[in-house]
Structure 1
Amino acid sequence: MDRLNLQVFRQFWAIAKTYWFSEEKWQARGLLLGVVLFLLAYTGLSVVLNNKRGVLISALSAKDESRFWETVVIFISVLVIYAPLLAGYRYLRDRLSLQWRRWLTNRFVDNYFGDRAYYNLSTSDVDIDNPDQRIAEDVRSFTQESLTFLLVLVESVLSVIAFSGVLWGISRSLVLFLLLYALVGTLVTTVVFGKPLVRLNFEQLKKEADFRFSLVRIRENAEAIAFYRGEEQEATQVKYRFLEVFDNVKRLLLWELNLNVLTNAYEFIPFILPALVVAPAIFAGELEVGKVSEAQGAFIRVFFSLNLVVARFQALTTFGAGINRLYSFAEFLEQVELASAELEPVEPEQTQPIEATETAATTLTTIQTVTADRLALEHLTLQTPSYQRTLVEDLSIEVPTGQGLLVMGASGCGKSSLLRAIAGLWIAGKGTIVRPDADQILFLPQRPYMVLGSLRDQILYPNTHLEADDQHLTQILEQVNLADLAERFGGFEVERDWADVLSLGEQQRLTFARLLLQKPNYAILDEATSALDADNEARLYQHLRAIGTTFLSVGHRSTLTQYHQSVLELSQDKTWQLHNQS
């Protein structure tokens, strides 16, 4: 995005309308109406206060004591009402902003996790950096700044209407000059400063997020960095990221300096001009002295209302950059949702492969998923998501119910990729995958995932709605040789950074506990016991076979063959062989 133009407003409305026409639209509109009513009352009282300030000066100049005290009483009475009105206006505005942020954050989070968009983002070549910042910070900025600019615009319109009447009654030439002056200032500012400031603010948001992310990665990979003694390289990388932030801020400050020089000089004239225009009439005795103060107050209110773009231009450019980041993120999530809707699993009788859109030279095909009470691959050809490499060709196998299939082969031949295809993460290729509903399958990925939460949460994940008492959980931990785990950390409700306090072998056994507790009909295991010794591995697979789960494993160890009824060997040349164990 290079400039502040109509494209920004189109993107803004595409995001904003989802809330104002949602199921909460009446509550939102009611709050907005309350804010506007408070603003109307607040603006009306501002006109009264501005008038009474001029009357005070006129009364003092004329030495009219009774008029002075009468005006003081009125001024204080209005102020008593004015102060809570202003406070109430700000409260309702911030409350509406908070409500909007909650709704929009929930919408982005739902779309981010829906249809595995978070995974698609990590594997796609789309330039969507730092989705965490876009959900946490850009949404907050969007809702707050949207309301701020909207209400400032409404307030400006009301001020122009209310105070222009005051100015018109004092001097018509002031009104005409003010309109021309504000128009010229707005055009000069947007034309000269628009494009560079929007670009620099967009880059600043990205570079700040990249810098913060580099620090987060160090915390998450502290042990690995320490083993490699990679402190110097990591420090250099962090400093480099910060240097990019620093250089961009320097360029931004130079443009802001030039903008501030213009705006400071531009905004000084309204403080002196009303006095110059009204002075001849006062010297001639046609106007009271207090009219100078009244004219000056009204002129400044109208000027800054008309001068909205110039006065808030830097904030507008930052806001425009944030809109662009949020819109591109929302657009990506929408595309994922549409693509997922087109590739919904079909019924068993529908067996024709689904074809994707045609590219310039070839027709790309996608793997079809059929829902059934079995796990089978039919004439499956699996490719990488970019369609640049074929991993397996024409693979047809079925895992008999209650038995186990072991997938083996050299690194890079497509073992883990095959599991991704079964899970629906990779769809590039052709053929059919027949599998049960997702809630009947439990996947144990190669890298154990420890959730944020208690020990109970770790065991129940991802079905945290399950009910299991402490005694049952203890029995499960005993089966995976972690009998003392709850006692060691102080019970099942204690919260720790489990990925940090548990060894890799303990993490793998803990994820196996999830499988033994939930007893799914099907289990997919990707190197799920790679960090375990032979005894612990044998123990886990014995328990797995005892619960009657149909399972498919990926592994390198030859010892794994004894726990499976058949072995699928994949080769680097895309061929495969199936061996039945005796």
Structure 2
Amino acid sequence: MTAVSQSKLPLKFRFDRQLWQRFVEIAQPYFYPPGPRSSIQFLFLILTQLVFVVAFTFFFVVSLALIGFQFAPKFFSGLVNEIIYLKFLSSLGKSSIEIFQNLLTYLPAYIFLVLLVVSSGIFYAYRRKLKGREKQWLVLGLLLFLAFIVSSLNVLISYVFRFIDNALNGRNPQVFWEFLWVYGITLVIAIPILISYRYTRRKLALFWREWLTNTFLKDYFSNRAYYELDSNAANTDIDNPDQRMTEDVNSFTTTILDLILDILDSILDLVAFTGILYSISTQLTIGLLGYVSIATILALWIGTKLIKINFNQLRLEGDFRYGMVHVRDNAESIAFYRGENLELSQVEGRLGRAIRNYDLLIVWLALLDIFQYAYNYFARLVPYLIVAPLYFAKQVDFGTIGQGIFAFQMVLSALSIIPTRIQSISSFAASIERLGMLYERFRQRETRDVVGSGIVNYPSTHFKVDGLTLNTPNAEQTLFQNLSFELTPPQSLLVVGTSGCGKSSLLRAIAGLWRNGTGTIESPDYTQALFLPQQPYMLLGTLREQLKYPNLRENVTDEEIQLALTTVNLENLSVRMGGLGAEKDWAALLSQGEQQRLAFARILLNQPKYVILDEATSALDVTNERRLYELLQSQDITYISVGHRPSLIDYHQTVLDLRSANHSGWQLLAAKDYQFAS
């Protein structure tokens, strides 16, 4: 599809249920297999894992507190008195032994123990349903645990600073140096944890990208979906599928983990620091919530605009890049036509559309910058305006000022994830839309293949076409109607007709590429058939790989390859190119006649039972053509040819003429009875 037609697509994007459904369709399969009610079970497992991590973190933090009492009893005594969910430690005694003994009678400890056991049991019960997805759940669980630990470290650091400030204000050097040592030890412990947390995030994103890309690639190459999704095809509404499976998948997996874990971090920080902030000032907490709520509404409005702009930018950048690749792949043809001025005009048009959309993106980003800068700078004044008067009135100590500002910034950051991340959220939403459309197209193809529509293809031991009416993919034209013929081994069929009558299209239908129409087609398995187009496909690889393609046989020796080259009159090709292991740009280096003879060598090496030739000898002289077709006949191969040369009749038993007297029908004749029109 061209960039112009794509730009006319009605695009209406917003944060709605459809966006959420597409997100779940893409994200869930990595962690839980799709199926009936699978989304509910997936969310249930997510909640179960959160419960497990919370329970495990509780015992982990208590263990650290017990260890901390041994090394810094003064600091940890003050700490547990300030944190509501650790106050039970201070009431149980000052020694670690007393705390441990009395912990055995503490009811919440048993509640968390039950939650730990139950959540573990649930995952054990679901082990079969996960179908080999245990690794991703383990890594995700580790990430959640590290997120809880990082949040706990932030709380710990806030109290360290508070105690240090109070020691400075009270001119108490002994307490100051003791707490400074605690801060140093905390940093030594915290830095490896923070690095591990970020490393694990990136590693899970990498695992996820690999899995999701491979999943899309399997769908892309399954049943030749890549053919239907060709950006040049007139019937596709999926632009640049290659870009969606590379850039968009990478953006999705990286952004989703960053976003979800940042949201989790924000929730943990919100829970941890709201209590601290509320203990300092109720007015400060309420004012902060109102301030952030208004900012979030404005950010969502701006973000809705940015989603469509980002979506268009991804599409237009892909169109521009595809235009440049198209010029590179067809450089010689363009040069022969002297078409560089027209190509330049088309490429500049694609670039211009991308630039104009990006210019619009810059305008909206500028508005977003104004909003975010104003939001952040004005927010810095609020804690000073509220906490300073409390200190002057001697209602709080000096260390509370620093801790209050720190807590305010943490809560502000937690509540501001939408206002501050709206650009990445908008880009992420655009990626969801693009991947979701591609995913839905793959699923529609699966449903179509199961239910069946249009032309029906059946596997068979020979070719048989019954009542075939073939339309072009966009259904704008009917090529022929009610066509029927049968070809049993070792028969051969020549298809002739005027240009545009549907000769090559018939081969596409036999190969299962075109299915728009009615009728049935029986054809052999693809592993037994070989297709030779007029312009042979030259893959990126060595000369040896070119000749063995598409590898229908294993263990083909170099001696067989050289013999095949000699048989098709290319005996010197290997020496001239530097050996069978030479890797070159074969499409540019070999003439079309050499490429067509190389394609015939593939027949000798792959030994198919059936061959379909679409003007496969059009670039050869009559002598070489006779040599290759006699080679086909000697191999006892059933073949179908499309061609225009009268000389081809000599190598076929039957002729299918799609060019009838009134140009509306077809006729099937014995080759000896057919005469080419002059």
- TM-score normalised by length of structure 2: 0.80
Where relative contact order (Cα < 8 A, 6+ residues apart) is larger, the structure is: 1
- Pick from 108, 112, 116 the counterpart of residue 220 of structure 2: 112
Matching residue's letter, 2:373? N
> What is the Cα deviation at residue 61 of structure 1?
2.8
For residue 489 of structure 1, what is the aligned residue in structure 2?
A: 577
Q: Is the 8 A contact 1:408 1:555 kept in 2?
A: yes
> What is the Cα deviation at residue 422 of structure 1?
1.0
For residue 7 of structure 1, what is the aligned residue in structure 2?
A: 18
State the alpha-carbon separation in 1 of the partners of residues 442 and 464 from structure 2: 31
For residue 409 of structure 2, what is the aligned residue in structure 1?
A: 300
Q: 1:401 aligns to what SS in structure 2?
A: coil
For residue 300 of structure 2, what is the aligned residue in structure 1?
A: 190
> What is the Cα deviation at residue 82 of structure 1?
0.5
Q: Is the 8 A contact 1:4 1:198 kept in 2?
A: no
Tell me, yes or no, if structure 1 residue 317 matches structure 2 residue 426: yes
Moved more, 384-393 or 560-569: 384-393
Q: 1:180 aligns to what SS in structure 2?
A: helix
Moved more, 484-493 or 132-141: 484-493
Matching residue's letter, 1:471? E
TM-aligned CA distance change 1:244 to 1:428, over 3 Å: closer
Matching residue's letter, 1:160? L
Q: 2:550 aligns to what SS in structure 1?
A: coil
State the alpha-carbon separation in 2 of the partners of residues 521 and 465 from structure 1: 12
Q: Is the 8 A contact 1:406 1:564 kept in 2?
A: yes
Q: 2:465 aligns to what SS in structure 1?
A: strand
For residue 62 of structure 1, what is the aligned residue in structure 2?
A: 170
For residue 463 of structure 1, what is the aligned residue in structure 2?
A: 551
Q: 2:536 aligns to what SS in structure 1?
A: coil
Larger relative strand fraction: 1
| Mapping of residues 61-80 of structure 1, within 5 Å | 61-80=169-188
> What is the Cα deviation at residue 424 of structure 1?
1.4
| Mapping of residues 427-446 of structure 1, within 5 Å | 427-446=515-534
> What is the Cα deviation at residue 126 of structure 1?
3.4
> What is the Cα deviation at residue 464 of structure 1?
6.2
Q: 2:469 aligns to what SS in structure 1?
A: strand
Q: 1:520 aligns to what SS in structure 2?
A: coil
Matching residue's letter, 2:31? W
What is the root-mean-square deviation in Å for CA atoms of aligned residues? 1.7
Tell me, yes or no, if structure 1 residue 575 matches structure 2 residue 661: no
Q: Is the 8 A contact 1:413 1:574 kept in 2?
A: no
State the alpha-carbon separation in 2 of the partners of residues 420 and 237 from structure 1: 30
| Mapping of residues 97-176 of structure 1, within 5 Å | 97-122=205-230, 123=233, 125-176=235-286
| Mapping of residues 376-455 of structure 1, within 5 Å | 376-455=464-543
For residue 37 of structure 1, what is the aligned residue in structure 2?
A: 145
> What is the Cα deviation at residue 72 of structure 1?
1.1
Moved more, 217-226 or 284-293: 284-293
Matching residue's letter, 1:259? L
| Mapping of residues 520-559 of structure 1, within 5 Å | 520-559=608-647
Matching residue's letter, 1:78? T
> What is the Cα deviation at residue 124 of structure 1?
5.5
State the alpha-carbon separation in 1 of the partners of residues 241 and 604 from structure 2: 34
Q: Is the 8 A contact 2:553 2:607 kept in 1?
A: no
Q: Is the 8 A contact 1:54 1:291 kept in 2?
A: yes
For residue 362 of structure 1, what is the aligned residue in structure 2?
A: none
> What is the Cα deviation at residue 576 of structure 1?
2.1
Q: Is the 8 A contact 2:527 2:552 kept in 1?
A: no
> What is the Cα deviation at residue 327 of structure 1?
0.4
1:71-105 CA-to-partner distances (Å, cap 9, x unmatched) read: 11000100001000011011111111111111111
Matching residue's letter, 1:154? L
State the alpha-carbon separation in 2 of the partners of residues 223 and 468 from structure 1: 34
Q: 2:229 aligns to what SS in structure 1?
A: helix
For residue 360 of structure 1, what is the aligned residue in structure 2?
A: none
State the alpha-carbon separation in 1 of the partners of residues 383 and 598 from structure 2: 77
TM-aligned CA distance change 1:527 to 1:26, over 3 Å: same
For residue 513 of structure 1, what is the aligned residue in structure 2?
A: 601
Q: 1:407 aligns to what SS in structure 2?
A: strand
For residue 353 of structure 2, what is the aligned residue in structure 1?
A: 244
Matching residue's letter, 2:323? S
Moved more, 54-63 or 526-535: 54-63
> What is the Cα deviation at residue 60 of structure 1?
2.4
State the alpha-carbon separation in 2 of the partners of residues 465 and 523 from structure 1: 15
Q: Is the 8 A contact 2:168 2:176 kept in 1?
A: yes
1:357-387 CA-to-partner distances (Å, cap 9, x unmatched) read: xxxxxxxxx3333333222223333332333
State the alpha-carbon separation in 2 of the partners of residues 242 and 501 from structure 1: 31
Tell me, yes or no, if structure 1 residue 257 matches structure 2 residue 366: yes
Taking only the aligned residue pairs, the percentage that are identical comes to 42
State the alpha-carbon separation in 2 of the partners of residues 236 and 387 from structure 1: 31
Q: Is the 8 A contact 1:270 1:296 kept in 2?
A: no
State the alpha-carbon separation in 1 of the partners of residues 25 and 382 from structure 2: 43
Q: Is the 8 A contact 1:407 1:415 kept in 2?
A: yes
> What is the Cα deviation at residue 533 of structure 1?
1.5
Q: 1:443 aligns to what SS in structure 2?
A: strand
Q: 1:427 aligns to what SS in structure 2?
A: coil
**Structure 1 spans left out of the alignment, 5+ residues:** 344-355, 357-365
- Pick from 617, 624, 649 the counterpart of residue 561 of structure 1: 649
State the alpha-carbon separation in 1 of the partners of residues 335 and 169 from structure 2: 78
- Pick from 216, 220, 225 the counterpart of residue 334 of structure 2: 225
1:412-470 CA-to-partner distances (Å, cap 9, x unmatched) read: 11111111111111223333323222222111123211112222221122226621111
Q: Is the 8 A contact 2:235 2:474 kept in 1?
A: no
Matching residue's letter, 1:161? V
Q: Is the 8 A contact 2:273 2:411 kept in 1?
A: yes
> What is the Cα deviation at residue 211 of structure 1?
0.8
Matching residue's letter, 1:580? A
Q: Is the 8 A contact 1:565 1:580 kept in 2?
A: yes
State the alpha-carbon separation in 2 of the partners of residues 8 and 576 from structure 1: 50
1:479-527 CA-to-partner distances (Å, cap 9, x unmatched) read: 1122222222222233222212222111111111111211211111101
Tell me, yes or no, if structure 1 residue 473 matches structure 2 residue 561: yes
State the alpha-carbon separation in 2 of the partners of residues 161 and 380 from structure 1: 68
Matching residue's letter, 1:539? R
For residue 100 of structure 2, what is the aligned residue in structure 1?
A: none
> What is the Cα deviation at residue 392 of structure 1?
2.2
State the alpha-carbon separation in 1 of the partners of residues 373 and 543 from structure 2: 59
Matching residue's letter, 1:63? R
State the alpha-carbon separation in 2 of the partners of residues 154 and 197 from structure 1: 24
State the alpha-carbon separation in 2 of the partners of residues 161 and 378 from structure 1: 70
- Pick from 127, 131, 134 the counterpart of residue 26 of structure 1: 134
Which contiguous aligned blocks of 4+ residues in structure 1 show a shift greater than 4 angstroms?
A: none
Q: 2:476 aligns to what SS in structure 1?
A: coil
State the alpha-carbon separation in 1 of the partners of residues 593 and 158 from structure 2: 74
State the alpha-carbon separation in 1 of the partners of residues 21 and 518 from structure 2: 39
TM-aligned CA distance change 1:465 to 1:558, over 3 Å: closer
Q: Is the 8 A contact 1:115 1:337 kept in 2?
A: no
For residue 204 of structure 2, what is the aligned residue in structure 1?
A: 96
State the alpha-carbon separation in 2 of the partners of residues 398 and 7 from structure 1: 48
Q: Is the 8 A contact 2:228 2:236 kept in 1?
A: no
